[in-house]
């Protein structure tokens, strides 16, 4: 049986309602979310045993975050209590030609101030088959980056499959390190990487490239460079997003395994209810697809794209859909008819 461990930060999400601007909001809707946690939620919804590892404050808000994990069937037995506060992000949801806006308030959060020895990775990884991390965690603080590296090294030593969503957030890298100082060593242990080619080159400290995803024949050479730089790499995936407007997205995807390119047909998503977390939905769908359809990368990719599309219809960070709902979309049924 597969068991997936995800490591990162769970945050309090405070969002305006009905697409209001921050300046118009009289109150904010309080929910929770975070890139790696969103992936764990998706996997739990698909019936995969998933555990989330993080550090939360030992207060009422930290307790609420733990209750959220348990409510969503995500394991929380290795969550560490400590630090002063839970990270927060404020969300103003865009509409039409106005994009969404995120303001972070996560400095000195519990995970950002994690200390050496907080996580016993040898114990945490007992019985696990997969470890997932993202570029958000090493962007938070130097101590979080060190904890992430310790986790990746231990997972590698124990033979786990390691996946990473690059998740570049320019607003987060504020502690004196650039991604190219931190990410290359972390990525050198990873087997599956999700991200744009240009972002991967940037994080690995290579000259900028401008890939043309429409020219499929030009992509293997660009992806091959990542395989050279990341010796354990087996699969690279890229979410293709063409933003017509905040309310209309076109979603596709690509997988490259070092030999063959797999391309998913572009799907129209309109109207968009909530775009936040859609990349995490792709990642969760991809992990499930690679586990469930081990010898069929095309099906794994198609599952990830369909999962990503469905997330756009759901408010909040989480992709609250089942395998059956994703497969229904894969079968061509995207009518949205009432199920009676």
Tell me the pLDDT tens digit for each residue of 303-317: 999 999 999 999 999
Q: State residue 333's pLDDT score.
A: 76
Q: State residue 138's pLDDT score.
A: 98
Tokens standing for 241? 């997003």
* Dist. CA 15–CA 13, nearest whole Å: 6
Helix (H, G, I), strand (E, B) or coil at 115: coil
Domain ranges of the chain: 3-95+102-327
Question: Quick one: CA dihedral 63, 138, 170, 290, positive or negative?
Answer: negative
**How many Cβ atoms from other residues are within 10 Å of residue 148's Cβ?**
25
* Dist. CA 242–CA 93, nearest whole Å: 18
Taking only the tens place, the pLDDT of each residue in 132-163 is 999 999 999 999 999 999 999 999 999 999 99
Q: At what angle do helices 297-311 and 278-292 cross, to 10 degrees?
A: 150
Q: State residue 338's pLDDT score.
A: 54
Helix (H, G, I), strand (E, B) or coil at 291: helix
Q: Which residues of 2-34 are buried (b: 16+ CB within 10 A; e: fewer)?
A: bbbbbbbbbbbbbbbeeebeeeebeebeebbbb
Correct CATH for 3-95+102-327 of 3.20.20.70, 3.40.50.140, 3.40.1190.20, 3.30.420.40: 3.40.1190.20
Q: What φ, ψ does residue 47 adopt, rounded to 5°? A: 90, 10
Nearest to 268 by CA among 281, 245, 247, 249: 249
All residue ranges of the chain with pLDDT < 50 are none
* Dist. CA 200–CA 152, nearest whole Å: 18
Q: Enumerate the β-bridge partners of residue 133.
A: 164
Nearest to 171 by CA among 133, 208, 209, 135: 135
Q: State residue 332's pLDDT score.
A: 85
Q: Enumerate the β-bridge partners of residue 267.
A: 251
| Beta strand pairing call for 130-134 and 3-7 | parallel
> pTM of the entire structure?
0.96
Q: Enumerate the β-bridge partners of residue 256.
A: 236, 261
Helix (H, G, I), strand (E, B) or coil at 281: helix
Q: At what angle do helices 179-187 and 142-157 cross, to 10 degrees?
A: 10
Q: State residue 80's pLDDT score.
A: 98
Q: At what angle do helices 323-330 and 297-311 cross, to 10 degrees?
A: 110
Q: What percent of the chain has pLDDT above 70?
A: 98
Q: State residue 63's pLDDT score.
A: 98
Q: State residue 336's pLDDT score.
A: 64
Question: Quick one: CA dihedral 323, 290, 48, 138, positive or negative?
Answer: negative
Which residues, in sequence order, are CB contacts of 119 under 8 Å at separation 6+?
A: 7, 53, 78, 80, 147, 150, 151
* Dist. CA 40–CA 7, nearest whole Å: 9
Taking only the tens place, the pLDDT of each residue in 256-265 is 999 999 999 9
């Amino acid at each position: 049986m597969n068991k997936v461990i995800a490591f990162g930060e769970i945050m309090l999400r405070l969002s305006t309602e009905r697409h209001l601007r921050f300046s118009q909001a009289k109150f904010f809707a309080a929910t929770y979310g975070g890139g790696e946690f969103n992936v764990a939620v998706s996997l739990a919804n698909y019936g995969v045993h998933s555990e989330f590892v993080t550090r939360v404050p030992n207060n009422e808000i930290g307790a609420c975050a733990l209750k959220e994990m348990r409510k969503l069937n995500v394991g929380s037995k290795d969550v560490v209590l400590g630090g002063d506060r839970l990270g927060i992000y404020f969300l103003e949801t865009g509409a039409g030609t106005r994009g969404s806006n995120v303001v972070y308030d996560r400095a000195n959060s519990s995970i950002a101030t994690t200390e050496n020895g907080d996580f016993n990775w040898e114990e945490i990884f007992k019985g696990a088959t997969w470890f997932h991390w993202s570029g958000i965690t090493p962007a938070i603080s130097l101590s979080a980056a060190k904890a992430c590296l310790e986790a990746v090294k231990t997972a590698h030593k124990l033979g786990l499959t390691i996946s990473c969503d690059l998740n570049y957030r320019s607003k987060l890298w504020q502690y004196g390190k650039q991604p190219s100082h931190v990410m290359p060593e972390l990525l050198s242990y990873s087997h599956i990487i999700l991200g744009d080619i240009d972002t991967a080159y940037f994080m690995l400290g290579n000259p900028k490239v401008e890939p043309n995803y429409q020219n499929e024949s030009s992509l293997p050479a660009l992806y091959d460079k990542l395989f050279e730089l990341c010796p354990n790499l087996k699969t690279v995936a890229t979410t293709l997003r063409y933003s017509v407007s905040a309310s209309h997205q076109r979603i596709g995807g690509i997988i490259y395994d070092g030999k063959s390119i797999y391309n998913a047909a572009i799907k129209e998503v309109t109207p968009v209810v909530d775009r936040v977390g859609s990349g995490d939905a792709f990642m969760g769908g991809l992990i499930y697809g690679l586990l469930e359809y081990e010898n069929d990368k095309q099906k794994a990719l198609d599952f990830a794209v369909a999962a990503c599309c469905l997330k756009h219809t759901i408010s909040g960070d989480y992709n609250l859909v089942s395998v059956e709902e994703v497969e229904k979309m894969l079968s061509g049924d995207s009518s949205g008819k009432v199920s009676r």
